Amino acid sequence: MFDHQKLVLCFLVGVMIMRSRFLFLSVAIFSSAVLLNACNSTSSKVLTSAPYDTVGTDQVRLANPSLLMDKLDSLKKGLLYFAPVDSINKIDPKVARNMLKDSIYRELKKKPKHIYLTFDDGPLLGSKAIDSIVTAKGVKSSVFLIGKHAKMSKKLTSSLQKYLDNPLVEAYNHSYTHANHRYQTFYADPTVAYTDFIRAQEDLGLKHKVARLPGRNIWMFGDVKRLDGRNGGTTAEMLHEDGFQIFGWDVEWRINGKTGESEQTVDMTYKAMKKFLDKNMGLYPNNVVLLMHDDMFQLPKAQKQLGALIDSLKQHPDYNFEFMTDYPKKY
């Protein structure tokens, strides 16, 4: 009887040992799985989280849609890390980088597009027509004004006031003298140039600290700094340090104000803007800034062209007209 009891006891002990080993093995397998998942998550952290966008048979994780442009900016600056190929990561870093970029652009194509109509050098003879057209079309526009022009006649003073009173128009700084059209000399003394802008800001009573430099396509706002290879950068930096945002342009439309003629038809200008949006050619995807000048729209012929361009852009339900103070619209 004693031997039988001992045999049963040994059997039970054996079963308990087997169960303990099975439990240990199960815990080990589960722990390994968790660790592997954590490693994978860490190695792909630069690709952040869902949603997924399929690229061939692989999947690339996109940033949160509200941060797509920031992710793209970091990608362009080389700030994102892509893990090298190893037993876990099977995608070459260069391939992964291109997959992420293509995926971001595909997501951005689904987002709205933003149009910035900007008019320089007002108030001038075309300013009244511009004010009327954008009001009739119900679109936002941005005007970069010259301080001394407002004092040239009562008519121009009236045009300035129309701009300032129009909720569809925002008025910004384009200097007081327009450098007297001697740009190289003007920007050679940054202090004089800076003072010229401050005078315009005060005389015109502008409430937005936004500027565009005459004769220069310079961008300087936030951490963005893009120069055009000519002098004027120091003046822009002084204005930026004083709280100004400096904006350039993507596409320019020229019309002879005295004849109403232009080598650029409405259709050509429309297609140039659309190309910038479709091909992501601008400083920021989904945003395009059009440069025009107030004196272009003195004659009815040119005024009709402006209306036609706006109508061409408005046919796209995902195109929105914005003020430069809202540049850029990010996703």
Report pLDDT digits (tens) over 11-56: 444 545 444 444 333 433 333 333 334 333 333 333 333 333 333 3
CA neighbours closer than 13 Å in the CB half-sphere of residue 152 = 15
User: Cα(202)–Cα(176) distance, rounded to whole angstroms?
Assistant: 10
Task: Please give the residue that has the higher pLDDT: either 57 or 8.
Answer: 8
Q: What is the pLDDT of residue 49?
A: 31
pLDDT bucket at 65, cuts 50 / 70 / 90: very low
For position 62, what pLDDT does the model report? 45
- Mean pLDDT on 107-114: 96
Which CATH number fits the domain 113-326, given the four candidates 3.20.20.370, 3.40.50.2300, 2.40.50.140, 1.20.1530.20? 3.20.20.370
| φ, ψ dihedrals at 224, nearest 5° | -90, 135
Other CB atoms within 10 A of residue 93 CB: 14
The beta strands (E) that lie in the chain are given as 52-55, 58-61, 113-122, 141-145, 169-173, 210-211, 219-221, 224-226, 245-246, 251-252, 287-293, 319-321
Q: What is the mean pLDDT of residues 288-315?
A: 98
Residue 293 pLDDT greater than 80, yes or no: yes
| Positive/negative CA dihedral, 138, 140, 142, 147 | positive
Q: Is 239 helix (H, G, I), strand (E, B) or coil?
A: helix
Name every residue whose Cβ is closer than 8 Å to that of residue 40 and which is 6 or more positions away in sequence: 88
Q: What pLDDT band is residue 250 in, cutting at 50, 70 and 90? A: very high
Does 95 score more than 80 pLDDT? yes
Rounded Cα distance, 140 and 167, in Å: 8
* pLDDT value of position 22: 42
61: β partners: 52
CA Rg value for the chain? 31
Q: What does pLDDT average to over the chain?
A: 85
Whole-number Å distance between alpha carbons of 275 and 289: 12
188, 216 contact by CB (below 8 A): no
Could you give phi then psi for residue 189, rounded to 5 degrees? -120, 90
pLDDT confidence of residue 3: 52
Alpha carbons 164 and 205: distance in angstroms, whole number? 9
Q: How far apart are CA 287 and CA 251, in angstroms?
A: 11
Report residue 244's pLDDT band, with 50, 70 and 90 as the boundaries. very high
Q: How far apart are CA 292 and CA 306, in angstroms?
A: 10
Is the per-residue pLDDT at 313 higher than 80?
A: yes
Identify the three-state secondary structure at position 77. Answer: coil
- Note the pLDDT of residue 97: 93
Cα dihedral sign for 251, 208, 205, 226? negative
Both structure tokens of 212: 């565009």
Q: Which position has the token pair 């401050």?
A: 198
Write down the domain spans for the chain: 46-110, 113-326
Q: Is the pLDDT of residue 160 over 90?
A: yes
Contact indicator for 100, 47 with CB cutoff of 8 Å:
yes
Q: In whole angstroms, what is the distance from residue 191 CA to residue 195 CA?
A: 6
Q: What is the pLDDT of residue 51?
A: 35
- Specify the pLDDT at position 208: 98
Give percent above pLDDT 90 in the chain.
75
Residue carrying structure tokens 């048979």: 57
